[in-house]
A = this chain, B = another copy of it.
Amino acid sequence: MLILANNPNQNHLLAALPTEEFERLAAHLELVPMQIGKMLYEPNEQLQHAYFPTTCIVSLHYVMESGASAETAGVGNEGIVGVSLFMGGNTTSSSAVVQTAGHAYRLERRLLKQEFDRAGTLQRLLLRYTQALMTQMTQTSVCNRHHSVEQQLCRWLLLTLDRLPTNELIMTQELVASMLGVRREGITEAAGNLQREGYINYRRGHISVLSRSGLEAHTCECYAIVKKEMNRLLSDVQYRQNS
C-alpha cells in the first residue's frame, strides 16, 4: 500500500482547477505544517497568506472581550482560509486557529488576488465556497440559539469527522467546549451520554466515533443543511486527473 505524499490535490478547491490555472499557482504553493493551536491570523490583522488545508482543520472563531469564544465555521480540505483576501476586506474581526493538526498549502496574498481577478475557475470556486461558508455561519448561529449542547456536539463531531480520513479526533473536552462556546462540564455530560449510547468512545484527549448514524439521529437539522449546501455548491466541480 502506498502512503500518499503531501499533494495540493488533497485540497478540493485546488484539485478542481483546470491544468492551466493550477500550474500558474503550483510553483507558489508552499506546504506548511499546521500545529494544533497555531493562530493563522488575529482579529483585524492584515492577512499575508491564504491557506488551503489538506489534512488539517482550521476553526474560524470569535473571541470576546470577556475571553469567551465561539466557533462560527470550520475549514478543512474542502475549503480555503482567508476569504477576506479576495472579498476585498483583507482582515476580519474573527480569528483562525488550527483545530486539528496536519498540513496546508499556503499562497501569498498577492498571487491569490491576481489569479482571482482573472475571473476564471478559481474565482468561481472561491465565490461558491464562500457562500457555503455563509451557510455554515447561518446554521451555527441558529444552532446556538435553539439547540441543546448535545445536539450541537453531534453536529460538530459529524462536521469534523467529514474532514478527516479517520474516525478519531485528537481533541480534549476543554477544546471542544471552547469551539461550541459552552462549559467544559457540559461537554463531559453530553459526551458521556453519547458514549453510554455507544455512538462514541473517548479517552483523555481522544474521541472515536463508533456510529455515525447514531450521531446523525441525535443531531439537529443543522448538520444536514450544511452538508447539503456544501455538496450542492461544490458538486459540479470537475477534478483534474492527478495521475
Q: Which residues of A contact B (CB under 8 A)?
A: 62, 64-66, 68, 70, 72, 83-84, 86-89, 92-94, 117, 119, 124, 127-128, 130-135, 137-142, 144-146, 181, 221, 225, 228-229, 232-233
Which residue of the partner chain B has the closest CB to A229?
Answer: B93
Q: Give the chain B neighbours of A83 by CB distance below 8 A.
A: 131, 134
Cβ-defined partner of A93 (8 Å) among B70, B89, B140, B225: B225
Q: With A and B bound together, what is the CA distance between A139 and B72 in angstroms?
A: 9
Instruction: Check B128 against A88 for contact (C-beta < 8 Å).
Output: yes
Supposing A144-B144, A221-B65 touch, asked if A86 and B138 sit within 8 A by C-beta, the answer is: no
Quote the shortest CB–CB distance from A223 to chain B (angstroms): 12
Are B70 and A142 within 8 A (Cβ)? yes
The closest CB in chain B to the CB of A88 belongs to B128
User: By the criterion CB–CB under 8 Å, are A142 and B229 in contact?
Assistant: no
Closest-by-CB residue of B relative to A221 is B65
Chain B residue numbers with a CB within 8 Å of A94 are 138
Q: With the chains together, A57 CA to B220 CA distance in Å?
A: 30
